[in-house]
Amino acid sequence: MAQIFKPSANTIAQVSLLGGAIVPLSVGLGIAALSRSPANTKVGVPLNQPVPFSHEHHVGQLGIDCRYCHTSVEKSAFAGFPPTETCMSCHSQIWTNSPLLEPVRKSYETGTPIRWTKVNKVPEFVFFNHSIHVNRGINCNTCHGAVNDMNITWKGNSFQMAWCLQCHRAPERYLHENEADTAAGLTPRQQVFNLYWKFQQDGVKHLDAHEQDLISGEDPVSFDKDEIAKGRKLVNKYGVKTQQLADCWICHR
């Protein structure tokens, strides 16, 4: 069969591909410098919020599923914030006189959404998608820290490129499957949420070492050889494309 492209076309294609990548990236460089505002870089610092919402209360103690409030996290790129109606499904009946909840009641009456201060953000030129991570069984705490412990939400990790890459270069360390959960027929995604449920039921008692690290926000999460070997099997099982994960176009499209 006749060749459609001459070998040199390959080089031309590569050069123009590179050009295509460098222009948006160098624009990105400037934006990245701007985006390093304190609110966007400080790890571990609780930010001011219009209502002192506590994940420790609502998740760690009451055991409300993340998806009750962050409804789109397993289906879309964004986790999203809950509308005031979600809060009022409980707070129209309980804690109705709490002064701390005044802004919530006001928002409900006036129909003006609460403006939460954003804690986690990547620059515009970075592509991120929640659903693929959650569907591969990566726990929220791996990236966000011990959310179940947060009285006022803070940023759990730097979210800089090197941080994304250290996982993308060796994701087997972070994939996790508990044998008991697997026997119960849970998918990786369900196990992400099951961890919080188990923790709320009886604390760290029935959690394995890796799960305990996740729940306590230990960083780096400890790995032993056995766990890494298990992780490699999971990479195959979940069909993770490890050869491509560190390529520029994955995150800069």
Q: What is the Cα–Cα distance from 239 to 231, expressed in whole angstroms? A: 12
Regarding 86 and contact with ligand HEC (CB under 6 A), the answer is: yes
Kindly report whether the peptide bond that precedes residue 50 is cis, defined as omega within 30 degrees of 0. Answer: no
The two tokens of residue 76 are: 């879309």
Regarding 138 and contact with ligand HEC (CB under 6 A), the answer is: yes
Position of tokens 């624009």?
A: 27
Decide whether 42 or 58 has the Cβ nearer to ligand HEC.
58
Regarding 71 and contact with ligand HEC (CB under 6 A), the answer is: no
**Minimum distance from residue 45 beta carbon to ligand HEC (Å):** 12
Positive/negative CA dihedral, 35, 37, 43, 47 = negative
Task: Tell me which residues in 198-237 interact with ligand HEC (CB under 6 A).
Answer: none
The H or E element that residue 4 is part of is: none
Cα-based torsion angle of the residue sequence 23, 27, 28, 33 in order, rounded to the nearest 10 degrees: 150
Decide whether 8 or 238 has the Cβ nearer to ligand HEC.
238
Instruction: Report in angstroms the alpha-carbon separations of 5 from 11, 12, 16, 218.
Output: 11, 11, 15, 53
The two tokens of residue 215 are: 């729940």
Give the x-and-dash track for 12-51 against ligand HEC (CB under 6 A). Answer: -------------x--xx--x--x-------------x-x
| Interaxial angle between packed helices 84-91 and 102-110, expressed in degrees from 0 to 180 and rounded to the nearest 10 | 120
**Minimum distance from residue 225 beta carbon to ligand HEC (Å):** 19
Exactly one of 214, 215, 234, 251 binds ligand HEC (CB under 6 A); that residue is 251
CA 187 from chain center: how many Å? Answer: 18
Regarding 240 and contact with ligand HEC (CB under 6 A), the answer is: yes
Exactly one of 75, 106, 115, 118 binds ligand HEC (CB under 6 A); that residue is 118
Task: Tell me which residues in 148-167 interact with ligand HEC (CB under 6 A).
Answer: 148, 153, 159-161, 164-165, 167
Regarding 170 and contact with ligand HEC (CB under 6 A), the answer is: no
Regarding 70 and contact with ligand HEC (CB under 6 A), the answer is: yes
**Minimum distance from residue 62 beta carbon to ligand HEC (Å):** 6
**Minimum distance from residue 44 beta carbon to ligand HEC (Å):** 13
Regarding 52 and contact with ligand HEC (CB under 6 A), the answer is: yes
Task: Tell me which residues in 179-198 interact with ligand HEC (CB under 6 A).
Answer: 192, 196
Contacts (Cβ under 8 Å, ≥6 apart) of 235: 171, 172, 175, 242
